[in-house]
Amino acid sequence: MIMRDKGTVRLEAGTFNHEVINALWDQGYVTTTGACSCVGMAGPALGGGHGHLQGHHGLISDNLVSMRLVLANGTAITVDENTNVDLWWALRGAGHNFGVVTSFEMRIHPREGLERWYCRTYVFTHDKLERLFEELISFQEDSLPNTVVAGHFGGYAMDPTFSTTEAIISWVFVFSGSQNDAAPFLRPFDRLEPIATFDQSTMYPSLPDVLGSGLDSELCAASKAHIVSTTGLTAFNVTSQRQIYELYNKNVARHPSLRNARVLHEGYSTEAVRKVPAESSAYAFRDERLLMYFDAILEPGQEGLEEFTKQWAHETRDLWNKGQPERLSTTYVNYAFGDESVESLYGYEPWRLERLRALKAQYDPHNKFRYYNPIVSMTALNTKDEL
């Protein structure tokens, strides 16, 4: 339900991104959503929620106004900046740990200025890898503060159109504007002599389809087993990127049936995200600029490759993290596989976990909500009970 006088919309918990995007668009509005059409709105919001509008309006969680929450004891409460304010802080970044959200209210924004979007995709062979990432480092520093640049996304994958023996490198740049707006930002990448380029202009609701995250994409295919790993970075390390590329080729050569694996890099604009004080919510990593993601889909009959693929995923994550040795590893909670440390999920500052654990003890003392990246594990709870 759109509430024009308040500039908000109220959504039920089961609402999907594509439903929100299309319904608001028809009424002249947008709001922050995830980038993938088939994902729900509430789940990503509880872990922060990255998306194509975050350079303009912040994370999904930054646009929440209120939530209705059912606690472990069955009580239904309202949570907002004036009511249950301690939970308001916790739900925006670590919300999976505290209850069931049944509905929520979000800010909406006029769609003017965000109607037309332009994307250019480049395809490179591996000999351009070092030069590409050097240019991406400069692009990240110089261009993303400009809100015309919505982000850049790319990675390594097998594509028989270009090669059957080596992964190709593809990279797409996304702009909330026209091709002319984008041209100055793209000149350094044009000079790298890609083997192919693809240009497409679209309206905002169709952007997921253009970027391969629409309802008909492989990402949205049902009943698939994904082996993933992830980490967050502030900058690329060129040496690590070469090592990850060589590891990819080596492992696909060893097990060709894993050629659908992908090494992905997401660089959303962080302009509006960084303007929100870090201490204002449980989302801990506003300084990050890049989300890394390894994803391999195991088809039926490939169960015997599960451990090998997990090891590959972990090695890829380790190489990313070794590229920033001065920085502790971090995990975007909505991409987590489940074997990451609680500090990497919710922050290394001691006060963050102390506050979250105190709230957990208050609102869910029996740890009913522990199935998705828990603050308190069942093992820890049992140990405490025994003491």
Q: In this predicted structure, what is the pLDDT of residue 296?
A: 96
What tokens does 343 get?
């500090």
Q: What residue type is 233 in one-letter code?
A: L
Residue 343 in domain: no
Separation between Cα atoms, residue 156 and residue 262, nearest integer Å: 6
Domain span at residue 278? 116-335
Q: In this predicted structure, what is the pLDDT of residue 387?
A: 44
Residue 387 in domain: no
- Please name the residue that has the structure tokens 């740990």: 97
Q: In this predicted structure, what is the pLDDT of residue 21?
A: 98
Same domain? For 254 and 308 the reply is yes
Cα dihedral 121, 148, 138, 142 in deg (nearest 10)? 170
Contacts of 234 (CB under 8 A, 6+ apart): 287, 288, 289, 290, 324, 327
Q: In this predicted structure, what is the pLDDT of residue 225?
A: 87
Same domain? For 104 and 127 the reply is no
Same domain? For 27 and 173 the reply is no
CA-CA-CA-CA torsion sign (113, 5, 80, 205): negative
- Please name the residue that has the structure tokens 């693929």: 309
Same domain? For 16 and 153 the reply is no
Residue 156 in domain: yes
Q: In this predicted structure, what is the pLDDT of residue 386?
A: 41
Report the CATH number at residue 88. 3.30.465.10
Same domain? For 151 and 194 the reply is yes
Residue ranges, the chain, pLDDT below 50: 383, 385-387
Separation between Cα atoms, residue 262 and residue 272, nearest integer Å: 29
Q: In this predicted structure, what is the pLDDT of residue 243?
A: 99
Same domain? For 80 and 172 the reply is no
What global pTM score does this model have? 0.94
Q: In this predicted structure, what is the pLDDT of residue 378?
A: 62
Same domain? For 150 and 191 the reply is yes
- Nearest Cα neighbor of 371 from 332, 336, 343, 329 is 336
Count of the separate structural domains present in the chain: 3
Q: Which long-range contacts (CB under 8 A, 24 or more apart) does 217-222 make?
A: 217/36, 217/37, 218/260, 218/297, 219/36, 219/38, 220/36, 220/37, 220/38
What tokens does 65 get?
């106004």
Residue 265 in domain: yes
